Structure 1
């Protein structure tokens, strides 16, 4: 069972009062979902599977009546909601892809689009995706994250430093959000640029803030740990209890360095802005799937579901996406399920392995490391750009491959080049190459950034 969480009075105030009020004012059902998830995690695997099946039936019934896309899909295939009763029955439905979402945004909505929250992915596959979320989906993501956070004896309200790069977060640093984050003791540090000055400032801030947890990209936290080690700066005395990493592949050498420098465990998480909070590592080491509301299928090269233990593409059905359904959504990530129960005692299924996601650093002409997402965000929201790939050949030579809806205008080309030069250096030669298509990798994914530099 859960160990008692040792929390300060202020943390309890935030968790039990302030954040609850915050979520209620936003119309979210976060804490009701959290209470359900904290109970269901201790059910047996069979009981959780039964709960999942029950929720699947209710989900399919709802979207079959409210989502025009799924109304038409079921009709075309001669199906009704009653034909989808089990996880195996999902195979009667086709996969959902980024392109299908892009082509059917309005039809997918189960209600007025303007009442939903608009989101877009970081474009790590080279194809940014615009989609929508309802309050149930947002509430579930927060609740699932809170449940996993509590596994490590930390909670909302404990001091937290977030090393992140999404402009969705960074663009909201207005007065109200700053006050809110200050109340919740969550401190956001931009993860794009890693010049010596930035690194020095971040290390100083960590020593001043003394957070109980870190959250961010493994590559960024790894680089910060290496910088501290090079300066012979001890971070063990900060008292950080856990480092949460997500959004990228966590490599073993990164885990070892982070755990050594911060003197605490690293908790890996798997999820995506589009697919949801899918799985999180428990203290016993297993990556547990939030299976009460998320169905994971592993798909082989022939698009058939693979047995447990075999590796293939991860396909997600999110049962809290009634407002904008994600049914059999192809993530493009590769992984496999485990048949072994976890020693922690939770009945939640285990994702044994996730592979295929990395976020690289690039080098500026000054030799400083730059998070690749800083360049991706230059391109991802441009309506004219359908797909892209960034290749660094040398410190002063970067090629940007683009698939666009039409030939680029000179003003747009100059805008892209200017933005890249601002980040990589004024003396960096940026070459734009417009192509009809960008070749994918063997697993079907598009590598969005490639550095030919050795560093």
Structure 2
């Protein structure tokens, strides 16, 4: 059998064999060795960027720091400038893996990973999915994700789906009529696992509940379901387990980093301590004791192309009291919920659909600082945004065209430029909110 997934990573220049060897070596470290490894990697990546990244050195304001707790915390706003200005010396946009964050927090930006950092990210993902018997080369995925609707973007994603052994269900319309067709695909195809946005998969589970169908009765090859990008509520997890007939695994990740936490076979939300250093900090950016809530702040231990050092991802979380450096466990994540938009036609679209709409206004020049979208009526939405330069009529028209394409025509949007946007008491900016 041709291992298309391995082949595609190799073709893109990712040194997977070397990365997997190093990752496996980390896994074998004793608790004492793991502590030494983490402290060494923290110092290495900090000093690397202080010495080789003018942007980061300027951000810190000095060329060396002795105490880790004195390292300044970075936020998404610190990355809202052209990527070329943020790259380390010896890296260019052509030599790195480049992508955009989803903007689900309302603070979008373009990021980069050097190719080895991206390779070890994949080693981490392959390892964790392997706990559930998933092999990306042969396991067939039912994928509940968005997809670009322009020809080039659409074609590129479909090719990636083919190489990644995936069949994608687009999430822009999850009405009962569409979900009926989704169910037919499960009857026709031998899927091994489900992966995708929480709210979309919950809607499918509720559809199955209405029809009194257990998914493994029509697709007995299913082993597991991984949900990501949005909060998984306990009642939704119970519903999905009942209607799918398989374990539901909670995944917490960020495209600019890696899988941050992944539910293990014992039901623990195990934090990634191999490629990341995850801290919970208070308002003064100091570590809090295990069991205390605070800001989730993450350091990417391998990314030399772009600094993610003490990076405030925008979430509030709690590490379990039984956590150790060797085995940190995420007890609770607060936030990351997305409402579902109900449109005049009866169409239901998860809040993350708006990611694909707002991509139209996310540009690498860093002009768009923040945005929030509110549904005020069935057919009426408000977009409040913060920019250095006001959006032009051409840009607004482009957004309206994207709305027609991804949602449906005849929706009314008002655009309001603001100096700042209202945040929650915890400082979180919710990208989409339904006021219905």
Shared fold, TM over 0.5:
yes
Q: Please state whether the residue corresponding to 1:297 is helix, strand or coil.
A: strand
Per the alignment, residue 68 of structure 2 pairs with: 90
The counterpart of 1:365, out of the listed 328, 341, 344, is 344
CA distance in 2, matches of 1:387, 1:450: 15
Alignment of 1:28-177 (within 5 A): 28-41=14-27, 43-72=29-58, 76-77=61-62, 79-80=63-64, 83-84=65-66, 89-103=67-81, 105-110=83-88, 111-156=91-136, 157-165=138-146, 167=148, 172-174=153-155
Would the aligned equivalents of 1:69 and 1:104 in 2 still touch at CA under 8 Å? no
Per the alignment, residue 449 of structure 1 pairs with: 432
Q: Please state whether the residue corresponding to 1:403 is helix, strand or coil.
A: strand
**Superposition deviation, residue 249 in structure 1:** 0.9
Q: Please state whether the residue corresponding to 1:305 is helix, strand or coil.
A: coil
CA distance in 2, matches of 1:68, 1:296: 25
CA distance in 1, matches of 2:149, 2:43: 33
Number of residues of Structure 1 aligned to a counterpart in Structure 2? 427
Q: For residues 188 and 96 of structure 1, do their structure 2 counterparts lie closer, same or farther at Cα, with a shift above 3 Å needed?
A: same
Are 2:216 and 1:230 aligned? no
Would the aligned equivalents of 1:34 and 1:146 in 2 still touch at CA under 8 Å? no
Are 2:397 and 1:409 aligned? no
The Cα offsets for residues 32-86 of structure 1, whole Å up to 9 and x where unpaired, read as 3334434533544333222212222332343233212234456x33x53xx55xx
Q: Please state whether the residue corresponding to 1:210 is helix, strand or coil.
A: coil
Which deviates the most, 228-237 or 247-256? 228-237
Q: For residues 182 and 436 of structure 1, do their structure 2 counterparts lie closer, same or farther at Cα, with a shift above 3 Å needed?
A: closer
Would the aligned equivalents of 2:380 and 2:413 in 1 still touch at CA under 8 Å? yes
Would the aligned equivalents of 1:363 and 1:424 in 2 still touch at CA under 8 Å? no
Q: For residues 432 and 276 of structure 1, do their structure 2 counterparts lie closer, same or farther at Cα, with a shift above 3 Å needed?
A: same
Would the aligned equivalents of 2:214 and 2:245 in 1 still touch at CA under 8 Å? no
Unaligned runs of 5+ in 1: 1-9
CA distance in 2, matches of 1:276, 1:216: 16
Which deviates the most, 164-173 or 260-269? 164-173
Per the alignment, residue 7 of structure 1 pairs with: none
**Superposition deviation, residue 252 in structure 1:** 0.8
Are 2:365 and 1:387 aligned? no
CA distance in 2, matches of 1:170, 1:358: 30
Are 2:324 and 1:338 aligned? no
Alignment of 1:155-304 (within 5 A): 155-156=135-136, 157-165=138-146, 167=148, 172-174=153-155, 178=158, 181-182=161-162, 184-237=164-217, 238=219, 239-304=221-286
**Superposition deviation, residue 387 in structure 1:** 2.1
Alignment of 1:9-20 (within 5 A): 14=3, 18-20=4-6
Q: Please state whether the residue corresponding to 1:192 is helix, strand or coil.
A: coil
The Cα offsets for residues 321-343 of structure 1, whole Å up to 9 and x where unpaired, read as 1111210101010101124269x
Cα RMSD after superposing both structures: 2.6
**Superposition deviation, residue 402 in structure 1:** 2.4
Per the alignment, residue 3 of structure 1 pairs with: none
CA distance in 2, matches of 1:429, 1:69: 41
CA distance in 2, matches of 1:168, 1:267: 29
**Superposition deviation, residue 172 in structure 1:** 4.5
CA distance in 2, matches of 1:170, 1:195: 24
